[in-house]
Structure 1
């Protein structure tokens, strides 16, 4: 795993390791115990390189070391004095000196080249790149003010001030994008202020007095920057770059989407969300849980956490956090323009989700509940169609009443089951409970039906297909098929003992049971085929 994270494996090995990591329970349990302090990549990379403390002398190539400013998985940043030009600088030194991995050294050189091409007042400038006694270093512009991470806390901040801050960051990032460079690691630690904020970030109570203020900020740490058109691929397949809490969904390996300018827009949306609500969209110290939510879940609407947020600003924030890059702002400049419109009390261009879009989001967020309710509606709709249009006599009286009560009861049961299925610990037990309760309910309904015993066969086959939709797992489909057979067998026994009028021949009963078995077998093969294609 260490070789995988630091990029020492070839592409084929990386793909194999990545597939294993997301399918092995033992490895998942091991990863669950890792806390997120910066990023998963930096954590494991730091452990894999042996020594974590760089051997740094008092002086490095004409720079006098004053003190340490901070450190990460790849390097340590010192406050230093340039003895030649008589100025203080931030000296970023790569970890482990001569022992540093080749890719780390190349990444530091890439950072130097990147910053050198970005001459903008909102980007920390580079003075020199050099190597001294095996220590590769960068001499960067020093800002004495604190960074955004150091002054943020878990409380919401002034919406107008936050909007002004993100507007300025969006302008800076747009400048970078225009020159073909994606930052890929935007987060509060990499945002520095040009001047000190003695009283911390503004609160909601300071809304009116700070309405038109915007701090001057600078963006730093382009170590993970990516050129939009680069002939050399620095990272190997399967290497996850970025900090999970601020990563975009497409930065997860094998996400199916290319990392683009939209990735930086997503990160700006996360920072805005954190400023407005006091928390990141997906708050968890569990790495796999963060990645799972990032890939599948939608963030809680900011106004649910902080009603003081203006609706337009919430709309802007949520547009930045859309799962698909194409659904976000087309450029960082568009984001900055919309924030400017908001700050000037003008109508913004982004529109809130309409009813259809909200329904689609709900279906994506709760697939089990959506698919279960769809099946219930279809079955109950067919019943009403048969009763009202076809006017079948068997769809009246006790059967209609029992079906109505059972449908309502299953809807409530599925709603409660959704919470259980959201927990990985109880997910499998919840699926078993869902299958058992559904088969029992269907069998009970048809016991009250005074019709031929062929009627429930189609419903049992629908249940098998529904199991494949909810949980595409061969084991689950096999269990659902067995339960369906037991349900139909129960109907036959009930008719034999209590309703001799409804007796069916042995040949017919066997034929109907074979229908259930064949449906289950074909569904099993289909799921196996789809899963094998997905694993290629």
Structure 2
């Protein structure tokens, strides 16, 4: 039984899947409990794996976002490759989805957080490749974390899989299932659409008797209308999920934030109670970039914005738009180096649909 990895004392196994085994561990030097993901043992004999592991782990560790699970460390000890991550006290999205799904307000809050995290990664040319409820963690305060970034690429080693399919069939984009080259961020849009389908209906659209049968279904069969499984949903949701989970990547939303904002508009644009459940949504907050008049200290404008977002995002009940998302919205509203006035602020408030700016 594994008891020690480097400076980390292994305490118990807390999860296991195709990408490896997760343990709860203790780091005495920092007096901190962490989660350690040990990658599959079969990779220890791969001569190319160690270099690939280091390269991908460094990229993942640089992803800093309120809704991306932080990676603290990575190492290769006694032919065991492992990643050290934040230990989340809570559960995965899987355990939150009931047989009838979730209230739309709760589902949209989670979608907003995951979409923002994915957008942050996509802008840095990092694709997740394995979006599913098991990889979306929710702590006891309601904070949402997307985990396992880049694990599929780390294990398979290339952008294409060379004929080896890595991922979870029920959520896998068709181009991934085919082992196609050039898989891009639109594969994550597909997978996230399937997660939304499950959150709102309590079921997944494609499931066969085995993984191969599931893949055949997702390749050959059209996406079922979600309103046949949850008639209380607006019919527009059918159209949005058909677009997000289109077989052809070119027919999907080109950007995950476009998908999130469009989906959100369907629910915020109606006064009806969509389900019998009443769930309080998080207060959405936009922190605009600061303006610094001293050129030599211009870096402070972004630093102040990011620090405020990081601090406020720790408060339960608040959802913070990422600085990247806000910057993209601001480009359509405010001229470069212009000051914020009432007019642009009002337009930003309407565009973002935030509760506070």
Q: TM-score, normalised by structure 2?
A: 0.69
DSSP 3-state at the match of 1:84: helix
Q: Which ranges of structure 1 fall in alignment gaps of 5 or more residues?
A: 1-54, 197-214, 348-536
Which structure shows the higher strand fraction?
2
Shift in Å, 1:339: 2.8
Query: Which of 159, 163, 167 pairs up with 1:238?
Result: 163
* Residues 49-84 of structure 1: CA deviation (Å, up to 9, x unaligned): xxxxxx52x222221112111122342111011111
| Contact 2:60 2:150 (8 Å CA) reproduced | no
Query: Which of 2, 5, 9 pairs up with 1:64?
Result: 9
Distance in 1 (CA, whole Å) between partners of 2:207 and 2:231 is: 19
Distance in 1 (CA, whole Å) between partners of 2:192 and 2:82 is: 29
Shift in Å, 1:89: 0.6
Partner of 1:303: 227
DSSP 3-state at the match of 2:13: strand
1:172 has 2:97 as partner: no
DSSP 3-state at the match of 1:237: coil
Partner of 1:335: 259
* Residues 19-44 of structure 1: CA deviation (Å, up to 9, x unaligned): xxxxxxxxxxxxxxxxxxxxxxxxxx
Which structure shows the higher helix fraction?
1
* Residues 427-468 of structure 1: CA deviation (Å, up to 9, x unaligned): xxxxxxxxxxxxxxxxxxxxxxxxxxxxxxxxxxxxxxxxxx
DSSP 3-state at the match of 1:112: helix
Partner of 2:57: 112
1:150 has 2:95 as partner: yes
Q: Trace 1:270-349 onto structure 2 (pairs within 5 A).
A: 270-345=194-269
In our comparison, the structure showing a higher alpha carbon Rg is 1
Distance in 1 (CA, whole Å) between partners of 2:43 and 2:228 is: 51
Instruction: Say which structure, 1 or 2, has more relative contact order (CA 8 Å, 6+ apart).
Output: 2
Distance in 2 (CA, whole Å) between partners of 1:188 and 1:74 is: 15
* Residues 153-208 of structure 1: CA deviation (Å, up to 9, x unaligned): 43322123212221221111111100001101111111101326xxxxxxxxxxxx
| Contact 2:36 2:84 (8 Å CA) reproduced | yes
Partner of 1:383: none
Distance in 2 (CA, whole Å) between partners of 1:170 and 1:101 is: 34
Shift in Å, 1:292: 1.6
Partner of 1:522: none
Distance in 1 (CA, whole Å) between partners of 2:48 and 2:17 is: 16
Partner of 2:172: 247
Shift in Å, 1:311: 2.1
Query: Which of 30, 33, 37 pairs up with 1:85?
Result: 30
Shift in Å, 1:346: 6.9
DSSP 3-state at the match of 2:91: coil
Q: TM-score, normalised by structure 1?
A: 0.47
Partner of 1:217: 144
DSSP 3-state at the match of 1:182: coil
